[in-house]
Amino acid sequence: MRAAVVLVALAACHSHTAPPPQPPPSGFGYYLLAMMWAPPCAHGLTLHGLWPNYTEDQARGQPRAWPQFCGAYAHCEKAEDASCAPGARVPDELAALAPAYVEGNGSFATHEWSKHGSCTALPAAEFFAAELAAIRSLPGNGTPEALRAAAGHDLARSELQRAFGIPPESVVLGCDDHCRFTQVGFCLAKDAGDHPTTPTPCTASVTTSEYDNGCVTRGCERVAI
């Protein structure tokens, strides 16, 4: 009789087994797609990374304005090892736009995945695909003809900001101490699955950053390309 009771109890437990836990929703508001400019080595802008960023409300009480090294990748902040690798191959199409991801031993792809990709709801292969899709969504794959034509010269900062074909409030421009163009960032909204979508206004944490928006914070009226 006792055995029968145990079997009934086990059956009841199995009939109410909870479904596998789903990954928690990501807690960031938008992406910053950062692309580097390094002529004459490159024929256009190359991918630096797709970085989750908090909205101003989300950033309150946080140590920084973005999440990084999330979940199982927290230890990668101190030292990146084999466990920090994405476990997915960088697609050929993306590699052409992100040569730093595959040069050497591919450690830059590991860094970008463990620091930034780990904070999204996307698996590594899908994160790389999302980076590619974000670049492809921009005019000229993010490198407008006006930028190519200005190489070796300079442009008014306002003209450079408008050259990318999306609202200027979604564009931040990186400059060094000598007002030389170093990189550009595009603020992109995201869908419920953490795929980047359309341009969205950048938050103050980005627009006031000397790293992200140095052409503005350094008062560069003209930018050397």
pLDDT tens-digit map of 113-161: 999 999 999 999 999 999 999 999 999 899 999 999 999 999 999 999 9
Question: Are the CB atoms for 222 and 156 separated by under 8 Å?
Answer: yes
- Under the banding of pLDDT at 50, 70 and 90, the label for residue 23 is very low
Residue 120's CB is within 10 A of a number of other CB atoms, namely: 25
The answer, as to whether pTM is greater than 0.95, is no
pLDDT, average across residues 25-46? 85
Handedness of CA 148, 149, 150, 151 (dihedral sign): positive
Task: Look at residue 83 in the predicted model and tell me its pLDDT.
Answer: 96
pLDDT(6) > 60: no
pLDDT(14) > 60: no
Closest of 27, 8, 9, 39 to residue 181, by C-alpha: 39
Closest of 52, 37, 74 to residue 224, by C-alpha: 37
pLDDT(42) > 70: no
pLDDT(183) > 90: yes
pLDDT in tens, 172-182: 999 999 999 99
- Under the banding of pLDDT at 50, 70 and 90, the label for residue 196 is very high
Question: Are the CB atoms for 130 and 119 separated by under 8 Å?
Answer: no
Percent of the residues in the chain that have a pLDDT greater than 70, as a whole number: 87
| Amino acid identity, position 149 | A
At 199, give phi and psi (nearest 5°).
-60, 145
Mind giving me the DSSP string for 169-181?
A: GGEEEEE-TT-BE
Which one of 2-6, 41-45, 93-97 scores highest in mean pLDDT? 93-97
Contacts 24+ apart (CB under 8 A), 88-95: 88/123, 88/124, 88/125, 88/128, 89/125, 90/128, 91/128, 91/129, 91/132, 93/132, 94/47, 94/128, 94/129, 94/131, 94/132, 94/135
Q: What is the DSSP letter of 4?
A: H
Least confident of 11-20, 59-68, 99-108, 200-209: 11-20
Task: Look at residue 41 in the predicted model and tell me its pLDDT.
Answer: 61
Helix ranges (DSSP H) in the chain: 2-15, 56-59, 92-97, 107-115, 124-136, 145-150, 157-162, 204-207, 214-217
How does the average pLDDT of the chain come out, rounded? Answer: 89
Task: Look at residue 106 in the predicted model and tell me its pLDDT.
Answer: 86
